[in-house]
A and B are shown apart, each in its own frame.
Chain A
Amino acid sequence: MSTRLATGGRLLTKDKPVTFRFNGKQLRGYEGDTLASALLANDQMLVGRSFKYHRPRGIVASGAEEPNGLVNMGDEGKFEPNQRVTTTELFDGLSATSQNHWPSLEFDVGVINKYMSRFMPAGFYYKTFMYPRAFWKHVYEPFIRQAAGLGKAPKARDVDTYEHYHAFCDVLVIGGGVAGLLAAKTAAQSGAKVMLIEQTAHWGGRAPVDGGTVDGDPVEDFVEKTVAELASMENVTLRNRTMGAGVYDHGYVLGYERLTDHAPEAAGPRHRLWRVRAGHIITATGAIERPLSFAGNDIPGVMLASAVRDYVANWGVSIGDRTVIVTNNDDAYLTAFALKFAGLEVPAIVDARPAGDESPAMAQAKALGLRVLHGHGIAKVKGNKRVTGVAICAQAGEGAVLEEITCDAVAMSGGWSPVVHLWSHCGGKLAWDDAQAFFKPDRDKAPTGADGAGFVTAAGAASGALILSDALGDAHAAGQAAAKAAGFTARKTKAPKGETPAEAPMLPVWMMPQGASAPLRAKAWLDYQNDVKVSDVQLAAREGFESVEHAKRYTTLGMATDQGKLSNINGLATLAGALDTPIPQVGTTTFRPPYTPISMGAIGGEARAEVFQPIRRTPMHDWHDTNGADWEPVGHWRRPYAFVRDGESTHDAVMREVVNTRQNLGLLDASTLGKLVVKGPDAGKFLDMLYTNMMSTLKPGKCRYGLMCSENGFLIDDGVVARIDEDTFLCHTTTGGAERIHGHMEEWLQTEWWDWKVYVANVTEQYAQVAVVGPNARKVLEKLGGMDVSKEALGFMEWADGEIGGFKARVYRISFSGELSYEIAVDAGQGQAFWDALMAAGAEFGAMPYGTECLHILRAEKGFIMIGDETDGTIIPQDLGLNWAISKKKEDYLGKRAQARSHMTDPERWKLVGLETVDGSTLPDGAYAAGEGVNANGQRNVIGRVTSTYHSPTLGRGIAMGLVLHGPDRMGEVISFPGTDGKTYEARIVDPVFYDKEGEKQNV
């Protein structure tokens, strides 16, 4: 069993005990514990179940590479799944539960999958769930859904806050181990602005556990001294608990700082996302130990040798009373010594390397009386939920058992792999190191910046320098190189001298024993979280998935939440073995950010709730809000959908607004409509290119409705253009279109017709605009007094400047409703006062405000199209019967050539018509009209669709517009629209103008 030792634990504050809960059970730990070390101290080795077979899973590692120890943390608004126990700092009151099991961690019914494992090989999902198709809905999908997904999705709203920080530095050092500390110091001595980030709460990385001396002093002293030096330098920023999440183009880095995860009661944001621009980046991200592939290497109690050592040294926790060490290198011997010194049993060091020259580590083992079995391996680990022993075999053989050793823990080491993720994120290439059997950064192929020079340098173990003395020399050089790359002159200093005992070479071991039989290979795990075994990768290779990227997806190797930090190298070495190809030729899969998962909260930062996106408000916004506005988002604006009175439903309000506007007087806040001033000697010529109509012939004082198309020919916007004077036009755009159309105009002016003399200005927010609509429109304006708004002085489709009720106003006689209508623009600052004046003066004429839904019904009754309803980016004006708005005289306009393409002139294109239900009901929005016969997929052919549909109170029936095959030639024909409600709606094809076809009402 695992337990807390009486002594040791360099990171613990033993006078600060802490209580926490795991699966409801109250447990005790100390400040300084991780959740992993505290669980192990309480003999809670079993932490979860694997994804596919629901195998019992124990803690394997002590850091970010942990694949198994993922738990649900917290409750309600602080609930978060998939939190890694090895990187979760313990705090008083912590509450965690294990995941991926049912009904309990100890007894799991999904474990049945384990017994089916021979029926669930690699690619199982691809092979099995294909046929019969009918099984998908009721058999396969429910099964997959139940099995899929780790953890639970949070249900409550996140109660924590998050923030973004922007930072700039000359040199960013990622990783605060000895290499990172030294590199940061060396770079900072040049005067460069340096930032050093470290993912854990502690500086020094592995070195204090692994030992050695620097310039004659213990390495721990070197760490302490260097941190103090860095802290005292003004040009250095130190952040611990901050992970380098990703390296991106041109020296952009995301850092992920966990501010209060270890102290949830503390004030302030929980996480901070650092958005760093660095002149040069040093990745001092260390190395990760590799597991060995032997049968039963996933049984709880089998752990990385370095992790076993960490738990003893850092947290005073023993993993077991009797630990067998299995290794292919000298480093794991340190674990044996640490256990021995802690008074624990090490029955054997199983060393895959044949006996050879004795290294200092081997000599020390002998001196301590440890039994070393050279040239041996583990045939099989015994046990189920916990290790009970190991069977020993010859490494060279097929696994014949020579001896069994009783033990309750196994510490394994398959060598080390540099953490190359951050080097690789932005295109840094890797080189294979044959002697140490790992990929390391290829110095000559660093990711390149804007100037074409490399902007990342790897340092220490991350660059392949695993030995302390090498790592310090390498880090010192990296610090100097980074300072130089950032434009500083490095100070002439000497690298400190590190000393550790010499090591015998490691021996690459990709399978244990090397000739393991098929049953053994089927129990040798590569990916613990996703249940990928040696046999799966070999099967993938046999079935032709030879590319490492294909094999990864076929087997799901390295696709779990740990992203293969432990499994990748062993997996691709296995693939290389199966393909009989050298490892470097097989290559690696792509490393993608983030290095470990970061919270969605941190990505969002402050951008949530009200500040997620700013809301644009018209000058009359507050009035609308206090007068019953039912808000509708339109672009970034909010517009009243309707003004709902007490006791009214929204639908009632809309109906009332339509009737009142048609019979009396309606007021619409039209301030959101885009207003672009186009000015210059070539303005007319320019607008002739932008609109399908002729705008250059428009007389000053007149208005014209215009259509705008993209170069593809498709409608992108519409609106009324007013000619202000010879050189000046005012173009109205749709509410959502102002910025887009402004950009569209600028693009063509700057990049195609740059010699034309035209300026464009977006004056949308300079004006408040009110549509005064209805038979009483003129009466209210005359009552307010001022300019002449009579039919004679201001005819339909004319505009004039003047004064109304004392307000400076520009009045357009345009109508989107078919009624007598004036759109009046006043200075934005006068908008509310003008609105108030209209409401007061209009009271006796039945003035009421109306919203966007009323606007829609009014325009639909008149058969006016709406961009975004009748158009969807694939509609040309000719589809909508708008040929009258397309100039035949112009040689060119944007979209003209495209509209001549064969598909655009195809008579089979659906055309706009009006639709009237036979029974007066309202057609469902977006419904398709069914035609004769079926298509190749056996679905009914469609011959049209509804683009706008409303109940018209004016006509007392449902009206709609739609696009229908040969529609304009089929007037009077009844077609049917099957609804999603099971009903079929019969509608007659009619003219789209339902109301006042002659336009008498607007022209009075």
Chain B
Amino acid sequence: MLILTCPMCGVTAEETEFHGGGEAHLKRFGPGSSEDEFEGYLFMRENPKGVHFERWRHANGCGKWFHAARCTTTLEVFGTYAAQTYEPPAEIKAVISDKRPGWRWREHS
């Protein structure tokens, strides 16, 4: 059971207080998008062994969504950050680069 810190209200809490929401930084494709684009948006997900970016909601707390950058193998949490962003913030990427030199996730590194 993970411990996460909600960046919106600052509370550090048990995983049971949060609700996982799958992969972060998906780009929505709506009407007019191609079959490939829509399939990618709706179904295709990263399944990395290592650095990953996830969506979480502080469901039994402040109710806000946020993102967590963590390692799927060691369970290390590199940081959490607000969900209102299209890509991982520079300071989060710097923490990961420090601990996992040469990491890559989708187009991010």
Roughly how many angstroms separate A377 CA and B99 CA in the complex, as a whole number?
A: 54
Asked if residues B31 and A900 are in contact (CB atoms below 8 Å), the reply is yes
A residues within 8 A CB of B73?
427
Asked if residues B75 and A450 are in contact (CB atoms below 8 Å), the reply is yes
Q: Restricting to A665-690, which residues have a CB under 8 Å from any CB of B?
A: none
Residue of B3, B63, B64 with most partner-chain A CB within 10 A: B3
Roughly how many angstroms separate A447 CA and B71 CA in the complex, as a whole number?
A: 13
Q: Does A508 contact B (CB under 8 A)?
A: no
Asked if residues A450 and B63 are in contact (CB atoms below 8 Å), the reply is no
Q: Does A747 contact B (CB under 8 A)?
A: yes
A residues within 8 A CB of B71?
452
Asked if residues B75 and A448 are in contact (CB atoms below 8 Å), the reply is yes
Please give the distance in Å from B8's CB to the nearest CB on chain A: 9
Asked if residues B38 and A448 are in contact (CB atoms below 8 Å), the reply is no
Query: Which one of B46-54, B76-84, B101-109 contacts A?
Result: B76-84
Asked if residues B31 and A747 are in contact (CB atoms below 8 Å), the reply is no
Asked if residues A249 and B83 are in contact (CB atoms below 8 Å), the reply is no
Q: Does A76 contact B (CB under 8 A)?
A: no
Roughly how many angstroms separate A896 CA and B31 CA in the complex, as a whole number?
A: 7
Asked if residues B38 and A751 are in contact (CB atoms below 8 Å), the reply is no
Asked if residues A746 and B63 are in contact (CB atoms below 8 Å), the reply is yes
Residue of B28, B33, B73 with most partner-chain A CB within 10 A: B28
Kindly supply a per-residue 1/0 record for chain B positions 52-78, scoring 1 wherever the CB is within 8 Å of any chain A CB and 0 otherwise: 000101010001110000010111110
Asked if residues B21 and A747 are in contact (CB atoms below 8 Å), the reply is yes
Q: Restricting to A448-475, which residues have a CB under 8 Å from any CB of B?
A: 448-452
B residues within 8 A CB of A747?
21, 57, 65
Q: Does B44 contact A (CB under 8 A)?
A: no
Q: Does B30 contact A (CB under 8 A)?
A: yes
B residues within 8 A CB of A625?
none
B residues within 8 A CB of A249?
1-3, 15, 75
Q: Restricting to B1-53, which residues have a CB under 8 Å from any CB of A?
A: 1-3, 14-15, 21, 28-33, 35, 38, 42
Q: Does A437 contact B (CB under 8 A)?
A: no
Asked if residues A897 and B75 are in contact (CB atoms below 8 Å), the reply is no
Asked if residues B42 and A898 are in contact (CB atoms below 8 Å), the reply is yes
Asked if residues A892 and B38 are in contact (CB atoms below 8 Å), the reply is no
Nearest residue in A to B8 (C-beta to C-beta)?
A750
Please give the distance in Å from B104's CB to the nearest CB on chain A: 19
Whether A448 touches B76, Cβ cut-off 8 Å, given contacts A712-B42, A747-B65, A750-B83, is yes
Asked if residues A711 and B42 are in contact (CB atoms below 8 Å), the reply is yes
Kindly supply a per-residue 1/0 record for chain A positions 238-261, scoring 1 wherever the CB is within 8 Å of any chain B CB and 0 otherwise: 000000000011111000000000
Nearest residue in A to B21 (C-beta to C-beta)?
A747
Asked if residues B3 and A250 are in contact (CB atoms below 8 Å), the reply is yes
Kindly supply a per-residue 1/0 record for chain A positions 417-456, scoring 1 wherever the CB is within 8 Å of any chain B CB and 0 otherwise: 0000000001100000000000000000001111110000
Roughly how many angstroms separate A251 CA and B15 CA in the complex, as a whole number?
A: 12
Asked if residues B31 and A891 are in contact (CB atoms below 8 Å), the reply is yes
Main secondary structure of the interface of B (DSSP, over half): loop
Whether A452 touches B99, Cβ cut-off 8 Å, given contacts A249-B1, A896-B31, is yes
Q: Does A143 contact B (CB under 8 A)?
A: no
Whether A452 touches B76, Cβ cut-off 8 Å, given contacts A712-B42, A750-B84, A751-B65, is yes
B residues within 8 A CB of A448?
74-76
Asked if residues B1 and A751 are in contact (CB atoms below 8 Å), the reply is no
Asked if residues B1 and A248 are in contact (CB atoms below 8 Å), the reply is yes
A residues within 8 A CB of B35?
901
Roughly how many angstroms separate A747 CA and B57 CA in the complex, as a whole number?
A: 9
Q: Restricting to A889-913, which residues have a CB under 8 Å from any CB of B?
A: 891-892, 896-898, 900-901
Q: Does A752 contact B (CB under 8 A)?
A: yes
Total interface residues on A, using CB and 8 Å?
A: 30
Roughly how many angstroms separate A922 CA and B5 CA in the complex, as a whole number?
A: 56
Nearest residue in A to B63 (C-beta to C-beta)?
A746
Asked if residues B31 and A450 are in contact (CB atoms below 8 Å), the reply is no
Please give the distance in Å from B56's CB to the nearest CB on chain A: 11
Asked if residues B64 and A897 are in contact (CB atoms below 8 Å), the reply is no
Q: Restricting to A239-289, which residues have a CB under 8 Å from any CB of B?
A: 248-252, 277
Asked if residues B1 and A897 are in contact (CB atoms below 8 Å), the reply is no
Q: Does A129 contact B (CB under 8 A)?
A: no
Nearest residue in A to B84 (C-beta to C-beta)?
A754
Please give the distance in Å from B40's CB to the nearest CB on chain A: 12
Nearest residue in A to B38 (C-beta to C-beta)?
A897
Nearest residue in B to A742 (C-beta to C-beta)?
B63
Roughly how many angstroms separate A743 CA and B76 CA in the complex, as a whole number?
A: 28
B residues within 8 A CB of A427?
73-75
Asked if residues A892 and B31 are in contact (CB atoms below 8 Å), the reply is yes
A residues within 8 A CB of B57?
743, 746-747
Please give the distance in Å from B19's CB to the nearest CB on chain A: 8
Asked if residues B99 and A901 are in contact (CB atoms below 8 Å), the reply is no
Asked if residues A450 and B99 are in contact (CB atoms below 8 Å), the reply is no
Kindly supply a per-residue 1/0 record for chain A positions 741-770, scoring 1 wherever the CB is within 8 Å of any chain B CB and 0 otherwise: 001001100111010000000000000000
Please give the distance in Å from A652's CB to the nearest CB on chain B: 44
B residues within 8 A CB of A751?
21, 55, 65, 83-84
Nearest residue in B to A455 (C-beta to C-beta)?
B75
Asked if residues A252 and B30 are in contact (CB atoms below 8 Å), the reply is no
Please give the distance in Å from B7's CB to the nearest CB on chain A: 13
Asked if residues A750 and B65 are in contact (CB atoms below 8 Å), the reply is yes
Roughly how many angstroms separate A447 CA and B57 CA in the complex, as a whole number?
A: 26
Please give the distance in Å from A921's CB to the nearest CB on chain B: 43
B residues within 8 A CB of A752?
28
Please give the distance in Å from B97's CB to the nearest CB on chain A: 14
Residue of A447, A450, A743, A892 with most partner-chain B CB within 10 A: A450
Asked if residues B1 and A250 are in contact (CB atoms below 8 Å), the reply is yes
Whether A450 touches B76, Cβ cut-off 8 Å, given contacts A249-B1, A250-B2, A747-B21, is yes
Residues of chain B at the chain A interface (Cβ within 8 Å): 1-3, 14-15, 21, 28-33, 35, 38, 42, 55, 57, 59, 63-65, 71, 73-77, 83-84, 99
- Can you list 30 pairs linking A and B with CB atoms under 8 Å apart? A248-B1, A249-B1, A249-B2, A249-B15, A249-B75, A250-B75, A426-B75, A448-B75, A449-B76, A450-B3, A450-B75, A450-B76, A452-B99, A711-B42, A712-B42, A743-B59, A746-B57, A747-B21, A747-B65, A750-B65, A750-B84, A751-B21, A751-B65, A891-B31, A892-B30, A897-B30, A897-B32, A898-B38, A898-B42, A901-B35
Q: Which 5 pairs of residues, A with B, have the shortest CB-CB distance?
A: A452-B76, A448-B74, A754-B84, A750-B65, A450-B77
Contacts A250-B1, A252-B1, A750-B83 known; 11 new A-B pairs at CB < 8 A: A249-B1, A249-B15, A277-B14, A448-B76, A449-B75, A750-B65, A751-B65, A754-B83, A897-B33, A898-B38, A900-B31
